[in-house]
Amino acid sequence: MKEIEDIQLREDMTVKELTKQMSDSGFQAQNLGIAIEIIQEMIKEDAAIFLSFTSNMAASGLRGIIISMIKSKKIAAIVTSSGSIDEDIIRAKMPYLQGSFDADDVKLGNEGINRMGNIFVPNDRYQYLEEFSSTVLEETYTQKKSLTPSELLSIVGKKIEGESFIKAAAENNVPVYCPGITDGAFGMQLSFFKKKHKDFEIDVLSDFNNVISHAMMYNKNGGIILGGGIAKHHTIISNLMNGGFDYAVYVHSSSPYRGSLSSATTQEAKSWGKVKESAKAVTIHGDAAIIFPLLVSSINEFCKANNQSKSKNLK
Amino acid sequence: MKEIEDIQLREDMTVKELTKQMSDSGFQAQNLGIAIEIIQEMIKEDAAIFLSFTSNMAASGLRGIIISMIKSKKIAAIVTSSGSIDEDIIRAKMPYLQGSFDADDVKLGNEGINRMGNIFVPNDRYQYLEEFSSTVLEETYTQKKSLTPSELLSIVGKKIEGESFIKAAAENNVPVYCPGITDGAFGMQLSFFKKKHKDFEIDVLSDFNNVISHAMMYNKNGGIILGGGIAKHHTIISNLMNGGFDYAVYVHSSSPYRGSLSSATTQEAKSWGKVKESAKAVTIHGDAAIIFPLLVSSINEFCKANNQSKSKNLK
Amino acid sequence: MKEIEDIQLREDMTVKELTKQMSDSGFQAQNLGIAIEIIQEMIKEDAAIFLSFTSNMAASGLRGIIISMIKSKKIAAIVTSSGSIDEDIIRAKMPYLQGSFDADDVKLGNEGINRMGNIFVPNDRYQYLEEFSSTVLEETYTQKKSLTPSELLSIVGKKIEGESFIKAAAENNVPVYCPGITDGAFGMQLSFFKKKHKDFEIDVLSDFNNVISHAMMYNKNGGIILGGGIAKHHTIISNLMNGGFDYAVYVHSSSPYRGSLSSATTQEAKSWGKVKESAKAVTIHGDAAIIFPLLVSSINEFCKANNQSKSKNLK
Amino acid sequence: MKEIEDIQLREDMTVKELTKQMSDSGFQAQNLGIAIEIIQEMIKEDAAIFLSFTSNMAASGLRGIIISMIKSKKIAAIVTSSGSIDEDIIRAKMPYLQGSFDADDVKLGNEGINRMGNIFVPNDRYQYLEEFSSTVLEETYTQKKSLTPSELLSIVGKKIEGESFIKAAAENNVPVYCPGITDGAFGMQLSFFKKKHKDFEIDVLSDFNNVISHAMMYNKNGGIILGGGIAKHHTIISNLMNGGFDYAVYVHSSSPYRGSLSSATTQEAKSWGKVKESAKAVTIHGDAAIIFPLLVSSINEFCKANNQSKSKNLK
């Protein structure tokens, strides 16, 4: 068995040096080290990486990391919740603001500011989202009346100006799966559009078939799953028909003792075949806002755009 | 200010007596007491109650409580995640089993048992679900080819034998909204059915319009929201156009310091207008598996079927 | 394997009926049921029960339950943190107040109110504690100059008027062990007293020997451990020389993935021999403020004073 | 208000660059950035830094960081729980091992291995601790029969060979306060020693007076408090007479909604005057195993030994 080593700091050390040392420490620092090794192996083995995250992450600085991972051509698919679409479209145009967890919510409400933890979102952001969505949907509708969520997001992505993960995904042919697409402000615009155009349809059924087929294209699949909710479950269930993940890294802070899928570990996943019995897998119990940047910035392959994808993994 | 009182136990005390005393204690016991008062007022004021829960709750004994609340005619709408449909259909026919959090997951997997915390689900349960779904979908399709999730669940509910919340909801005209309906084993059957029948459609867009319209029918709305995920967010966003909830009780165990909607409190909701500034609202930070039975069994109105609904709340 | 049963509510059901049903549910409700069975067996087997809790519990309504358990003569020893002494002495005389988690702390501070979650403690409570402590210490010092914490608390307990767990323990010959006794407002008074009386001594070393000897007196020992900190660890380490607990119920809400003893489970304890390999043991992951009243009020033996202690457990 | 910025990764970036970017992100990444600024100001203003941590941290790689901070001469005092003494003495001589959270605890117990999360501690480590303690206590006793915990640890520290935070503290005249010193394996040796030498005394009362006096020596005080328990509370209460901290950074993962001091925030502390109304203070809700290395390695002043202490802060 390896020994626990004391972390030795030095001035201006790199993230990679620090996380390497963390891997010889205990508790979640050790798990972080294990996760980095697993992701490194995903890349080395050219596994198809399914990246899943919740909308709060798209509202935070993590969005920049997601964009960078997509541009590095190491991501096979994105699975996310509907709120991520809202945050991404808005932030490509208008910034969110730094706030405080202890703010007075009634006062904020009266000032037209919506609080998301310590991130503040003024109401005008949602007005912009409505206008953007309305224009894009009118344009799209003239070309096609029934679209799957991933198909729609591929079209929307190409219409976004500014930095955006939906745009980066569209430009790099990375599908963005969003099974619960109605459940957000963009989703509300979709539903309102349907009122006016009865033959407009979002085909969620075909997209589930699409993501399952997509997951079956590769010899080896890996999941990087941040947070829980429908994004996490959908990533996992989409890879179930394929025999489960060959590699899996979960990062979440909720307690597995509640029995929810959101908090379930990679260990529990093995009973279901969601993660292969032989898979390399780890759960980091912690906050993706801090842990995900450490993970990704420890892996050079994710930090540069236009990394050559080897594709040898295709069946 | 009221004083903190020591809890005085006596033999064979009722739940109601105990939770009344808890309301004069501190921490989450105090919040439990506040929640009971708020729900009592929801009932007294005949507010339309939107009940939201995640699928793990449908897998546990809480399902019995949900059924009982629907039968008492005090619930206006259910909003849940797709997994709840799986658990409900299966458990109406075949039981889930008591297991252990510390079980060996690889061994369980080899024995054909899936672990959900300390609940065990043998594989044959999912075989039954596939058969049931397949039969029901064939029957439904002959009558109608495009359905919203709530419309489909109303039809499915009437075909379920045994105790079921979907059935109870269908029989009592309580819509079950499920915006992420594809994301589960039942959802997978829907998608497979679509492969065979190209004109089969699940219309998620219209159901969002339906739930928004539904929420606008009443003078006063209350939310009882257990856990997070798409079920929680959808309940809230559906009541946003209505000016936000007049009453809200959240029960969840995740930390608001992550900035996710799943863990957001009723306080944060006030900045968004999701919960009215003047609303009576409380968040119980804890485990619905224990807290929800205490809440509901402290309120006699939920414990009896065929309670007369007053409907005076309709606009 | 037992089946998961839906909870069936009825009007005015007793706590015992409800928790019996919870034991056939899932997640922490199931663990609650297991805990009740274990504690019932502790009582049936006349195991010596070591009860451990943190000071926030003494500040809340749980104090009444602790007092009732002591009076039922089913408790062999109490192990707690220093803050519990403060809360108990004060609350025997002056009440704590119901507050709010969302209060403005700077404003409260200016009004002379200290916040403990949603419990408010006005400054005058601590003035009373200083006066009481000062008087009691002067009286005690004239009789004895070196005391162990449990010896001191036995003397202090007899001087408290009003309801108090320290008093109930003193009157029922239940030692209150408090290894970190200086770390609180009462502890500060002890230290200030030492400044004036150089020969005054609190002998923490002998009390550790006392609690170890105490734990070795019985054939079977059980631990009921609420929360973490020094109280939890001391209860466990005191029973280590005895071969570990025969029965153990832990209730806490912190995550075992941090590696702290405060959050360690009964399972982890078996590697250390803190809990016997063959022991009946369970960890309830949740909030003692709600769970402990359910546990205790489900067990009639704890609800009545002057229950006959059988003592057949003494070696 | 500042804007939320997307994190921009680049290859081989330094920790300092990354945490700088995190400070413009959301949620706990933002709080991490605030904490770094506060600690930088503590150093710039030459505030006396009280560093508090729990024993699991001394068992992990964090011990190396603590040692480095002490050697940089920026720490005025250490406050910790008794277990830290055990971990430090042992690890100076014999390593702890990397294990797994999912290990079989009964099997581990039979193999003589104790599990602390994912750190494994073989039994022979405790045998060494007993021998070391016994020798050191015999030597110490010949010189002095009554010692405060900090006095004893200063003597013990000088007898430790190998890397040790107690030794580094002793050599740099940083007192290690440990109010619950009996509550551990070293503490047990102290108590056993007392059995043989009735006049041996650990004077916890005087050490509380010492730490209070110590805290009053400076114009400005800052607290860096990792985890909870007696270490956290004692650090805070020791600085209460001084008017509360001028700067405070708390890092912990437990929920403030339980009302425990372990999980209380810097905000709640302001109602008590534990943290000054005007203080710069932040709580990072997360895992010190990962967060503390990020904090400290972002601050060059902590990374080098023999940093000149300015001491201008002394009153």
Longest dimension (CA), chain A: 66
Q: How do residues D206-222 score in pLDDT, each as one tens digit? A: 999 999 999 999 999 99
| CATH classification for the domain delimited by B26-302, as one of 3.50.50.60, 3.30.70.60, 3.40.910.10, 3.40.800.10 | 3.40.910.10
pLDDT at D269: 96
Q: Which of residues 259-288 of C touch A (CB under 8 A)?
A: 259, 285
Pairing of strands D201-202, D97-98: unpaired
Determine what percent of chain A is predicted with pLDDT higher than 90. Answer: 94
Structure tokens of A297? 């910035």
Nearest to C255 among A26, A259, A285 (CB): A285
pLDDT the model gives residue A66: 98
Do A273 and A249 form a contact (C-beta atoms < 8 A)?
Answer: no
Residue range D30-65, pLDDT digits in tens: 999 999 999 999 999 999 999 999 999 999 999 999
Contact A274, B103 (CB under 8 A): no
DSSP string, D103-162: --HHHHHHTTEEEETTEEEETHHHHHHHHHHHHHHHHHHHH-SEE-HHHHHHHHHHH--S
- DSSP, collapsed to helix, strand or coil, labels residue A240 as coil
Token representation of residue C249: 């119920």
Contact at CB, C97 and B12, closer than 8 angstroms: no
What pLDDT is stored for residue A309 in this prediction?
Answer: 56
Other Cβ atoms within 10 Å of A172 Cβ, number? 16
Domain segments of chain B as ranges: 26-302
- With 90 as the cut, is the pLDDT of residue A299 above it? yes
DSSP string, chain B: -PBP------TT-BHHHHHHHHTTSSHHHHHHHHHHHHHHHHHHTTPEEEEEE-HHHHHSTHHHHHHHHHHTT--SEEEE-HHHHHHHHHHHHS--EE--TT--HHHHHHTTEEEETTEEEETHHHHHHHHHHHHHHHHHHHH-SEE-HHHHHHHHHHH--SS-HHHHHHHTT--EE-TTTTSSHHHHHHHHHHHH-TT-EE-HHHHHHHHHHHHTTBS-EEEEEES-HHHHHHHHHHTTTTTSEEEEEEEE-S-GGG--STT--HHHHHHHTSEEEEEEEEEEES-HHHHHHHHHHT-GGGTSTTPPP--TTB-
On average, the pLDDT of chain A sits at 96
What percent of chain A is modeled with pLDDT above 70? 97
Judge: D183–C179 Cβ closer than 8 Å, yes or no.
yes
Average pLDDT, chain B: 96
Active-site residue (options: D74, D220, D274, D276): D274
Q: Do A9 and D65 touch (CB under 8 A)?
A: yes
| Separation between Cα atoms, residue D247 and residue A137, nearest integer Å | 52
D-chain residues near C264 (CB < 8 A): 116-117
Residue C176: what pLDDT?
Answer: 98
Q: Residue D315: what pLDDT?
A: 83
Instruction: Tell me the mean pLDDT in the region B148-155.
Output: 98
- The percentage of residues in chain C with a pLDDT greater than 90, rounded to a whole number, is 94
Other beta carbons within 10 Å of D242: 21
Catalytic-labelled residue, pool B71, B232, B270, B274: B274
In A, minimum Cα distance to C252 occurs at A257
Counted across chains A and B, CB pairs separated by less than 8 A come out at 224
Confidence of residue B259 (pLDDT cuts 50, 70, 90): very high
CA distance D270 to chain B (A): 19
Position A126 scores a pLDDT of 98
Name the minimum distance, in Å, from the CA of B246 to any CA of chain C: 19
What 3-state DSSP class applies to A20? helix
Digit-coded pLDDT (tens) for A130-154: 999 999 999 999 999 999 999 999 9
Helix (H) / strand (E) element for C98: namely strand C97-98
- Chain C hits for B65, Cβ within 8 Å: 6-7, 9
Which helix H or strand E contains A94, and what residues bound it? none
CB contact under 8 A, B4 and C291: no
Across C5-13, average pLDDT: 94
CB D14 within 8 A of CB A13: yes
- Distance between CA C126 and CA C111 in Å, rounded? 15
DSSP 3-state of C53: strand
Strands A97-98 and A119-122: antiparallel
CA distance from start to end of chain D: 37
**Average pLDDT across chain C, whole number:** 96
- C24 pLDDT higher than 60: yes
Q: pLDDT band for position A260 (50/70/90)? A: very high
Q: Do C229 and D228 touch (CB under 8 A)?
A: yes
Give yes or no for residue C305 having a pLDDT over 80.
Answer: no
Confidence of residue D313 (pLDDT cuts 50, 70, 90): confident
Neighbours of chain A (3+ CB pairs under 8 A): B, C, D
Q: Which tens digit of pLDDT belongs to each residue from D114-135? A: 999 999 999 999 999 999 999 9
ipTM: 0.96
Q: Where residue B303 falls among pLDDT bands split at 50, 70, 90?
A: confident
What residues of C are in contact with residue B60 (Cβ under 8 Å)?
4, 25-27, 29
- Summarised one tens digit per residue, pLDDT across range D183-210 is 999 999 999 999 999 999 999 999 999 9
The order of strands in the sheet holding D97-98 is D97-98, D119-122, D113-116
- C-alpha to C-alpha distance for C11 and B124, rounded to whole angstroms: 36
- Please check the confidence at residue A306 and state whether its pLDDT lies above 80: no
* D273-301 residues labelled b (16+ CB within 10 A) or e (exposed): bbbbeebbbbbbbbbbbbbbbbbbbbbbb
Is C161 strand, coil or helix?
Answer: coil
SS3 A181: coil
pLDDT recorded at residue C252: 97
The arithmetic mean of pLDDT across residues C253-260, rounded, is: 95
Which residue blocks in chain D are alpha helix, DSSP H? 15-22, 27-44, 55-59, 62-71, 82-93, 105-110, 124-143, 149-159, 165-171, 185-196, 204-215, 229-238, 266-272, 288-297
Q: What are phi and psi of C49, to 5 degrees?
A: -95, 120
Burial class (CB in 10 A: 0-12, 13-18, 19+), A131: exposed
Q: Which residue of chain D has the CA closest to A297?
A: D9
CB contact under 8 A, B230 and A233: no
Residue B133's pLDDT is 98
Q: Is B26 on the interface with D (CB under 8 A)?
A: yes
D291-300 pLDDT, tens per residue? 999 999 999 8
CATH fit for domain C1-76+218-308, picks 3.40.309.10, 2.60.120.1440, 1.20.1250.20, 3.40.910.10: 3.40.910.10
Q: Model's pTM, two decimal places?
A: 0.97
Which of A26, A28, A257 lies at the smallest CB-CB distance from C27?
Answer: A257
Any idea how long chain A is? 315
* Residue D309 reports pLDDT greater than 60: no
Lowest mean per-residue pLDDT among A131-145, B297-311, D60-74:
B297-311
pLDDT band with cut points at 50, 70 and 90 for residue B305: low
Structure tokens at A187: 């989703």
Strands C119-122 and C113-116: antiparallel
In this predicted model, what pLDDT tens digit does every residue of C50-103 receive, in sequence order? 999 999 999 999 999 999 999 999 999 999 999 999 999 999 999 999 999 999
Indicate if the pLDDT at residue D308 is higher than 80: no
User: CA-to-CA distance for D252 and D266, rounded, in angstroms?
Assistant: 11
Does C253 have pLDDT greater than 70? yes
Provide the residue type at D245 as one letter: F
End-to-end CA distance of chain A: 37
Residue B46, Ramachandran bin (φ over 0: left; ψ between -120 and 50: alpha; else beta): left
Q: What per-residue confidence (pLDDT) applies to B1? A: 86
Residue D61 contacts residue A5 (beta carbons within 8 Å) = yes
Cβ neighbours of A211 (radius 10 Å) = 26
Q: Is the pLDDT of residue B306 over 90?
A: no
| pLDDT per residue as tens digits for the range B192-242 | 999 999 999 999 999 999 999 999 999 999 999 999 999 999 999 999 999
Residues near A77 by beta carbon (within 8 Å), at least 6 away in sequence = A48, A49, A50, A51, A174, A175, A176, A177, A211, A214, A215
Examine the residue annotation and report whether C270 is marked as an active-site residue of this protein: no
CA distance B209 to A190: 10
Cα–Cα distance measured from residue B261 to residue B252, given in angstroms and rounded to the nearest whole number: 11
Band of pLDDT at residue A296, cut at 50, 70 and 90 = very high
Q: What is the pLDDT of residues A156-195, one digit of tens each?
A: 999 999 999 999 999 999 999 999 999 999 999 999 999 9
Percentage of chain C modeled with pLDDT above 70: 97
Give residues with Cβ within 8 angstroms of A277, minimum separation 6.
A270, B106, B109, B110
Please give the residue of chain B at the shortest CA–CA distance from D254: B255
Q: Would you state the pLDDT for residue A308?
A: 58
pLDDT tens digit string along B46-86?
999 999 999 999 999 999 999 999 999 999 999 999 999 99
Model confidence over A85-106: pLDDT tens digits? 999 999 999 999 999 999 999 9
Give pLDDT, residue B311: 62
Mean pLDDT for all residues in chain D: 96
Architecture per CATH, D15-302: 3-Layer(aba) Sandwich (3.40)
Cross-strand partners of D314: D218
Q: Decide if D155 contacts D147 (C-beta within 8 A).
A: yes
Contact C27 A259 (CB under 8 A): yes
CATH, domain A1-76+218-315, list 3.40.50.2000, 3.30.70.100, 3.40.50.2300, 3.40.910.10: 3.40.910.10
pLDDT of residue D314: 81
- Asked whether the beta carbons of residue D12 and residue A267 sit closer than 8 angstroms, the reply is no
Nearest to D69 by CA among D315, D264, D293, D314: D293
Please compute the mean of the pLDDT values over residues D60-87 and round it to a whole number.
97
Per the CB < 8 A criterion, the answer to whether B141 and B122 are in contact is no
pLDDT the model gives residue D186: 98
Q: What is the rounded distance in angstroms from the CA atom of residue A140 to the CA atom of residue A152? A: 8
C56 has which bridge partners? none
**What value does the mean pLDDT take over residues B282-288?**
97
For residue D287, give Cα distances in angstroms to A252, C133, D131, D160.
Answer: 12, 38, 34, 29
Which has the higher per-residue pLDDT, D113 or C309? D113
User: What is the pLDDT averaged over residues B146-168?
Assistant: 98
